[in-house]
Amino acid sequence: MLNQSIKAFLLNEAKKRFLRYVKIDTRSDPESKKYPSSDGQWNLARMLKKELDQIGLIHVELDPYGYVYATLPASRSVSGPKITFCAHIDTSPSVSGTNVSPTIHKKYGGGLISFADEKNLTLSPEESPELLKFVGGNIITASGGTLLGADDKAGIAEIMASLAAFQKFRDLSHPELRIVFTPDEEIGKGTEKINREKLGDYGYTVDGGEIGELEDECFDAFEAELVFRGLNVHPGDAKNKMVNAGAIAARFVVALPEFETPERTEKKEGFFHLTAIKGDESLARIRILIRDFERKNNRKRIELLKKLIRVFELRYWGLRVETEIKDQYKNMKKILEKHPEAVRIAEQAIQMADVEVIRKAVRGGTDGSRLSFMGMPTPNIFAGGLMLHCEKEWIPEIALQKGAEVIVNICGLWAGGNLPRLDHRLN
């Protein structure tokens, strides 16, 4: 167990770094052809490189694609696997990240939280029941009109705080650590240009939600982009001639199963998720995410899309639909169930921080999925943020400390050789 001075140091370090990082607009841009997709990500990447140098890590590098790498050599007499900690630099493009003003609501009383810059915006326990777990503690939100950026700047801050602690408290043992901060995770490109040779044998993404979450399973994911090509004719003479691509694309979306959408599903139910629709009479585009925990179920959804396209092309003479389907990532459970030690160590590390372990599957993606399939088993641990990707995003201040504690505990378990018993496989 960590003593109070180390815990206080971790809280102070993680908090001050987090409040600094969230002020940098790092939204990724799904329409960009650049890598990383937005200039703001470079600003935070350069800051992190400088701070890693200041802490005293070696092989600190900001590469041409916006990845930040660094190494912390193992403590004296410690050998064993090299461990990677990973968090992503970008934030969601769905809500503004410009001029984020973090606000600390001290000694939260259990009622409504208001936002200084948006008078009609409130956050309530009815919307986010987890708030009631932190009555009396400090809650951090944005000031209104922007997201906060806890996804994943909280994860970055917690990793950085733990690295600072290893340099200050030399009796904290750790294996060799390989750090990587990735760009463009929010648009599915977090590992697209990553250098596997700079990473370790096992990894942990610090990118989960509520305190205590530990995830070794995620969605299997595809993305479909459909281009509808029609024929625009003057509306006064359009009967039996016009093929209105925009209207047909809208009807196509409505034809998808309504109860297989994110707003109608939960737990391990899969879905179609419309993320973009735009166009006119001549040409329209739609983008659909296809998600499930079983690849065979996603294959069925893809086949349904193809059948529906054929039906629409028969129904609307002259319509052409072009389709591109991308395989985005796979369920990381396929790899992690073969390496239960990685998850079991994280589980014990969370318990050592006096936090209840919340085992769940990620209804989303994680860099850990692709990293696992690259040969580095990488479960996901909490960063602490909730109501992510919206103006009501919040994080309990204590999550910044607990996240950093868990990282330090994971390192101690790997370094000490006193690993949790692996007497049965994880479910």
Catalytic residues: 90, 185
Under 8 Å between Cβ of 221 and 167: no
Task: State the distance between the two ends of the chain, measured CA to CA, in whole angstroms.
Answer: 27
Closest among 413, 56, 382, 374 to 198, alpha carbons compared: 374
In angstroms, the CA 400 to CA 190 distance is: 23
The Cα–Cα gap between 219 and 228 comes to 28
What's the rounded Cα separation, in Å, for the pair 341 and 419? Answer: 8
Distance, CA of 68 to CA of 51 (rounded, Å) = 11
Strand partners, 180: 69, 86
Place of tokens 């750790």: 174
CA distance 394 to 204: 23
Long-range contacts of 285-288 (CB under 8 A, 24+ apart): 285/225, 285/226, 285/227, 285/228, 285/249, 286/225, 286/226, 286/228, 286/249, 286/252, 286/253, 287/223, 287/224, 287/225, 287/226, 288/223, 288/224, 288/225, 288/226, 288/256
